Structure 1
Amino acid sequence: MYRIVILHAFLLLFVLIQKTDAKPPIRVFLVAGQSNAVGYDAPPQALPASDIDETVRFWWRCGDPPPDEHDSMSGRWVTLRHQPVGDPIKPKSGRQYGNYAQREGGFGPEMGFARTLAPRSPLPIAIIKIAFSGTHVAGDWNPNLSDREDSEDPNDSRGACYRSLLAETHQAISQLSQTYAPEIEAIVWVQGESDAQAAYVDAYQTNITTMIQELRKDLATPNLWVMLGVNTRFGGGHNPFMPKIVAAQQAVAHLDPHVQYVDCDGASIANHAHFDGQGTLQVGTRFANTLLRITAGR
């Protein structure tokens, strides 16, 4: 009997130690897409100061495709902030160049998203942002396309942005796991403008559906929430393919119970392609409010 009591005491002590050593949970959200996910025309001076930023963990890589040493990137976890311009290639033939329009850098929808979500979250949050300007799901984000090893075109980034999203996310999660118990909950996807052309638009719904399915597999997150949005006024209202992109995103949301379409119409714009600073904050807030609605009660 005495030995049984001692054994139970040791087991209880072991359980208490395990609980004491348990890492605190943290909610992880991905932000990805093309230039309106980057925040290409959202200058740092348009970003009001907020104490919330110091409470949010942040990891980023963004710029021009293909992903390379010229990107703006953190390479480690920091607190939420605008991002520097990096070292973009100028000029860059055939693709958009410049990681941000301003020498001071910029910010994306992650700012409005995190500032809206963090004060309402029961747990701390972390943002992983991987975004590249002028990129399409047909090629750059296509998980089923090979690398550009067989191509002589330096601007050919077939599938490279998708692979960068995976690689950066795995690296970021690995580092975060040293301190926290992370769980990837959702992705903010702001993209579709570069697929709004005759060569890609008809396949957009199939391509974005495939990307979502593969991303859930590759990140081992079968219930990942996916929130889709795009600059509906891309092309200054003259691009005939934008309604098809919007319809495709809405169709994916209708068919997949863990996908939500986020209407970005009316957010203020800098030009025919990009949201301005205020619009970028508005878009991020809309994504956060969507997430709060679909996860109410958690």
Structure 2
Amino acid sequence: MISRRFALLLLALAAPFASAADPIILPPKDRLHLFLLVGQSNMAGRGNVEPEDQKVHGRVHMLGKDETWAPAVDPMHWDKPSAGVGLGRTFGREIANANPRIAVGLIPCAVGGSPIDAWKPGIMYAPTKSHPWDDAIRRAKIALKDGTLKGILWHQGESDCKPELAATYEDKLHDLIQRLRKELDAPDVPFIVGQMGSFDDVPWTPEMKLVDEAHRNLPKKVKNTLYVGSEGLKHKGDKIHFDSPSFREFGKRYAAAYTLLTKQQ
């Protein structure tokens, strides 16, 4: 009988050559590292999908819309028809390549346009006729049957850059983190927040600066959190969403931040 160690070695060696048609082989629960992807459209991804974005990595999986595991390829989200390349797939590949003994399970749950107030129990977000919080918690708990939650990736805030919302954003973000950790029984799970687009041709309003300040100051106020800057990244022409190369780079930055944070624990 083949040993578990040898089987995992074969899985790691075969990963770069996997195809979408290959069956998903999950490792033991402690070696399937789960990451929850939450927020709005810049987490869901709106980049144009290119051939490289649909290449399969044998150790990077995603929980699909049907709540079964599938190869992690873009588009990973389905919140809106415009869903495309995001940061999650690149993040997963970076983590898997740095840790050959594990597999990565991505749990896509972002909802384009959603304000932070939509991320509360029982709240329906009318534009997508979905319940961002309830759906994310349900999907995360399904994934947790097979793996171990290792991180939460958050990119959101654009919809809260309004005079009546920005001033209370920080308190709501801290509350969101506390609720997620409590509901998923993961009090110390790393929480990574990304900066909104800091595009050269898009001046920031006072409200944008206030929301960014809440993101930027998070590591000083909430344990096991880190902020990822978006300096140098470009938009796709709409002055809101990152383009595909920028999403891929952002995924690498999130992965570097996660690695740094876990080394500090």
Q: Which amino acid aligns with 2:221?
A: L
1:208-231 deviation digits (Å, cap 9, x = unpaired): 000000110100001111001132
1:114, CA displacement in angstroms? 1.1
Contact 1:47 1:277 in 2 (8 A): no
1:24, CA displacement in angstroms? 4.9
Distance 2:93 2:233 in 1: 17
Distance 1:227 1:199 in 2: 26
1:192, CA displacement in angstroms? 0.8
SS at match of 2:206: coil
Higher relative contact order (CA 8 A, sep 6+): 1
Would the alpha carbon gap of residues 277 and 227 (structure 1) be closer, same or farther in structure 2, given more than 3 Å must change?
Answer: same
Aligned length: 235
1:297, CA displacement in angstroms? 8.6
1:12-63 deviation digits (Å, cap 9, x = unpaired): xxxxxxxxxx9452211111110000102x1211745655x22212114xxx
Q: What TM-score, normalized by structure 1, do the two folds share?
A: 0.71
Q: Tell me if 1:281 matches 2:224.
A: no
Would the alpha carbon gap of residues 142 and 200 (structure 1) be closer, same or farther in structure 2, given more than 3 Å must change?
Answer: farther
Identify the residue that residue 263 of structure 1 maps to in structure 2: 229
Identify the residue that residue 134 of structure 2 maps to in structure 1: 163
> Is there any run of 5+ residues in structure 2 with no aligned partner, and where?
1-26
Distance 2:192 2:72 in 1: 21
1:75, CA displacement in angstroms? 2.5
How much identity, in percent, do the aligned residues show?
Answer: 21
Q: Tell me if 1:37 matches 2:4.
A: no
- Greater gyration radius: 1
Identify the residue that residue 15 of structure 2 maps to in structure 1: none
1:155-206 deviation digits (Å, cap 9, x = unpaired): 497x9211111011112323x2xxxxx2101111111111111121011100
1:259, CA displacement in angstroms? 0.8
- The one of 238, 243, 246 equivalent to 2:209 is 243
Identify the residue that residue 169 of structure 2 maps to in structure 1: 204
Would the alpha carbon gap of residues 119 and 99 (structure 1) be closer, same or farther in structure 2, given more than 3 Å must change?
Answer: same
> Is there any run of 5+ residues in structure 1 with no aligned partner, and where?
1-21, 61-72, 89-97, 177-181
Distance 1:294 1:85 in 2: 26
Contact 1:231 1:274 in 2 (8 A): no
